[in-house]
Chain A
Amino acid sequence: MLALQLLINGILTGSGVGLVAVSFGMIYSCTRVFHVAHAGTYTISAYFVWSLLLLGLPDVVAIVAGILLCGAFGIFIQVALYEPLAKRNASQLVVLIASLGLLAVIQNLIAMIFTPNILRMPSTMLGGVLNAGSIAVTTPQLLLFILAVLTVAALIFVSRNTVFGKRIRAVSNNPGLGVITMLRPRLVYIYVMGIASAVVGITGIFNGYDLGLQPYNGTLILLTATVATIAGGIGSIAGGFLVAVGLSVLQNLSLLVIDGRWSVAITFVLFIVFMLFRPQGLMRAR
C-alpha cells in the first residue's frame, strides 16, 4: 500500500534528517553559532568515504574512518575559523557570513575536484533491497535508521547522565560562568563541533550509499533540519529528532496529494506555521 510505504520512507529518511537536526542543534545551543557550513560537512562525508573506497579500503573501515574524518573536519573549522572570529569579537552576523562563505568554498571545491555530476559509491556491499510484503526498504536506509536511533539515545544519555554532558550543558547555559569555573568553554566548543560533525557524517555517508553523491545537496536537508531544530525547541535533543522524523513523514505523505517537486514548500509552510503559533518550539529544554 502506497501510504504505508511512504510512511516507512518518511520514518527512515527522517531519522537521518533527525541526526542532522540534533547535531546542528548541539552546535547552535552550545556555541551560539548558526553553523550553516554544517551542510558542507554533511556533503563532504560521503566524498571522504568514496575516496577511501577507491583506495581499496573495505566498506566498514571506510565508513568508520569517514565519520572520524568528519569529526576532525568539524574541529578544524572550529579552530581555524570560529575561534579566530570569536577572538576578534565578531558579531553573529559576521560569523554567519563567514560560515556561508565556508559552505560555498566546500561545495565548490568538491565540485571542482569530483565534478558536479552525481557519483555512486564504488561498492556493492550495501546495495540490497529488503522486502517485507509489499514494503521495500534499502539496506542503507535501514542501517541509517538503526544507527540514528542508537546515536540519539547515546547523546541523550551522555547529556543527562555524564559529567561530560553536564559540562556541555553548563557551558551552553552560561559561557562566562564556564570560564570562571574552569570549565574551559573553548575546549567544550571543540568537543561539540567534533562530535556534531561526526554525527552529521553518519547521515551523509549512508545517504551517499542510498542516493548517490552530489556537491550541492546539503543545503536542502539542512533547511529541513534547522526547521526541525527550531520547531523542536533549541536545546532539546529528543524534540529536534522527533520533529525531523515528523517533518519527513509529512513530506513523504504529501506526495499522495501534491507533486514531489513542491515538497520543500511543505517544510517551509510548516515553519511559518510554527513561527506564528508556537515560536518557542515543541519541547523547550531551557
Chain B
Amino acid sequence: MKLQQVAHVETRPSSLWRDSFKHILRQRSAIIGLCIIAALILCAIFAPVIANYDPLLPMIGQPGHTGRLPAQPPCIHLLGCSTEQPQHYLGLDLNARDLFSRVIFGSRVSLVVGFSSVLFSIVVGTLFGLVSGYAGGWIDNIIMRLMDVLLAFPSLLLSIAIVTVLGPGLQNALLAISIVTIPAYARLARASVLAVKEYEYVLANRSLGANPFRILFVHIFPNALTPLIVQGTLGIGTAVLEAAALSFIGLGAQPPTPEWGAMLSEARNYVFTAPHMVFFPGFAIMMTVLGFNLLGDGLRDALDPRLNRN
C-alpha cells in the first residue's frame, strides 16, 4: 500500500455504525424490510387519515348501506363493484365493520405490542445479564438457572400460563411475552460481559477504583449493544406473532379492539364462506413479521465486524 493511501485511510476514520448503515443500504432484503416497517409506522401514525371508516362502527343503518352487510366481500369500484354501493376495500367483518379500517388500525396495536414488549425484555434481560456476568459466583448461578427454567418451557406455553394467572387482556399478554423473552437478552448480555470482563481496559478501570456500575454501563455495556439490537429487531417480529397467537386463543386483545389475531379468531369459523375476513388480518401479521425479520437479518450481517464486506 502506498503511503498516500495509508494517509487517506487514516484521515477518514470509520465507525462501526456508519459502516453498518452503508452496508444495510446495499442489502436488498434489508431495504425491503425497512420499507415494510416504514409503511407500517406510517399506517399506524396516520391511521385515522388512511382508514375511511371508524374501525369500531358497524355499517348497519349507515347511509348507502343496504342488504345483508355482515361478512360482505370486498367492494372496489375500479374492480367492477357497482358504484351504487359504498366502497369497502377489504369487505366487512361479522359485525359489518369496515375490515380495511380495522386492519389499518390494527397496525397501531401490533407495533405498540412489538416495540414495548421488546423494550421491556431488553431492559430487564440486559440488567440480569450484565449483573450475572459481572458478579459471577452464586449470583450468576441463581440468575442463569432461573433463565434456564424460563427457557425450559416452549415460549407460547409459558406465555399462556402467565396470562392464565394474570387474566386475559392485551396488557397482560404483552407482559407475558416480555417475561418469556427475557432469557434470550440476559444470555446475550452475559456473554458480552464475560468476553470483555478480563480485558486490560476494564481491569485498569477497576484498579483506578471506578464505581462498578460505571464500569458495567459505560465500559462493558456498549460491547453488548450490537447483538442486543439484532436480537431485539428479530424479537419484535416474534412478539407480534406471539401477541397475535395469544389473541387468537382469546387471551390477548379482547373484542372489539381491532387486533389482527383477535380478528382472525372472530373470523375463523367463517373461513369457508367469507375467506376475506381471514386472509387480510393474517396477511398483515405476516408482512409485519417479515419486515422485522428481514431488517434483523440485514442488521446482523451489517453489524458483524468479522464478516468480510469485500
Q: Does A associate with B in a complex? A: no
